[in-house]
Amino acid sequence: MAVTIETRLAEAVRIAEEAGRIIVKAREEKSFNQRLKAGIELVTDADVAVDTFISKELDKHFPGELQLSEELSPEQGLGTKAPLWVVDPIDGTVNFAQGLRHVAISIAWLEEGVGKVGVVHAPFLNETFTACEGGGAFCNGKPIKPSGASELSATLVGTGFPYDRAARKALMPRLESILTHCQDIRRNGAAALDICDIACGRLDAYVETVSPWDFAAGWVIAREAGATLGRLVDVPEGVSKDLYPKELLITAPGVFDELHALLSSKA
């Protein structure tokens, strides 16, 4: 019998919450080493341990389904039409290592390249964001929706910056225009939570280039909550828009067009 989407959501929530307990314990016990990946990007033992835990759980419950995950299989399943799990075991690794609380586990499930299930669990904030296709979006079981922001001067914008410092310079014109026209900027350090914060109206807009595992689950949650999802660039032919991570722009519906016009000239 085919596995229902509700079963997938429930399993993903259970796995994310269990992973959250591993993350909290690792931090309490300070039982993780840190190193730099590719010379610039922080990774801890906990990132790898949690990715391994989630991967084994998904294998057990959904045998044979592909998994794309940041630490274990970052290339797996890109471009596939087959069922695909997309996992960021710790989104906000720098926050995790520094003792900050914006940290999340992000799990999405896609079929035919379309995001069907999204779970983002924040173990230090005790919040779990969930959504499945056509079913609305929730935080700790309560329905959520984006803000009613309708003008740029009242638009609080979440964003992030690449680990590669040399790549940050190109973002300066964009930052200048956001700071000139919008209310302000937040850089909270976990893309999945930034996107969920659009979904529940705490932030009004989010713009960033990330990786597929950073946004796949948040994208489903924001979409189901009623946020407007788009990009400052076109998605290449044949690539799933639910996995293409470049120049994402996710906003409350009332400010998308204006912000898109403002930032497109700075992309």
| Footprint of ligand IPD (CB under 6 A) | 88, 90-93, 160, 189-191, 208, 210, 214
CA distance 255 to 108: 26
Number of chain positions touching Ca ion (CB under 5 A) = 5
Q: Which does 189 bind (CB under 5 to 8 A by kind): ligand IPD, Ca ion, none?
A: ligand IPD
Q: Which is nearer to Ca ion, 25 or 81 (CB)?
A: 25
| DSSP sequence for 116-135 | EEEEEEETTTTEEEEEETTS
User: For 73, which DSSP code?
Assistant: B
For the CB of residue 4, give the shortest distance to ligand IPD in the complex, in Å.
30
Q: Which is nearer to ligand IPD, 11 or 214 (CB)?
A: 214
Of residues 66 through 85, those in contact with Ca ion by CB under 5 A are 70
Residue of minimal CB distance from Ca ion?
A: 91
The three-class DSSP label of residue 130 is strand
Q: Decide which of Ca ion, ligand IPD, none touches 160; Cβ closer than 5 to 8 Å per partner kind.
A: ligand IPD
> Which CB atom, from 43 or from 259, has the smaller least distance to Ca ion?
43
The DSSP secondary structure of 23-58, one letter per residue, reads HHHHHHTT---EEEETTTEEEEHHHHHHHHHHHHHH
The 3-state DSSP class for residue 66 equals strand
Question: Closest Cα partner for 107 from 51, 47, 38?
Answer: 51
**Does 242 help bind Ca ion (rule: CB under 5 A)?**
no
Which one of ligand IPD, Ca ion, none is in contact with 212 (Cβ closer than 5 to 8 A by kind)?
A: none
Question: How many residues would you count in the chain?
Answer: 267
Q: Tokens for 196?
A: 């969920």
Binding interface with Ca ion (CB under 5 A): 70, 88, 90-91, 214
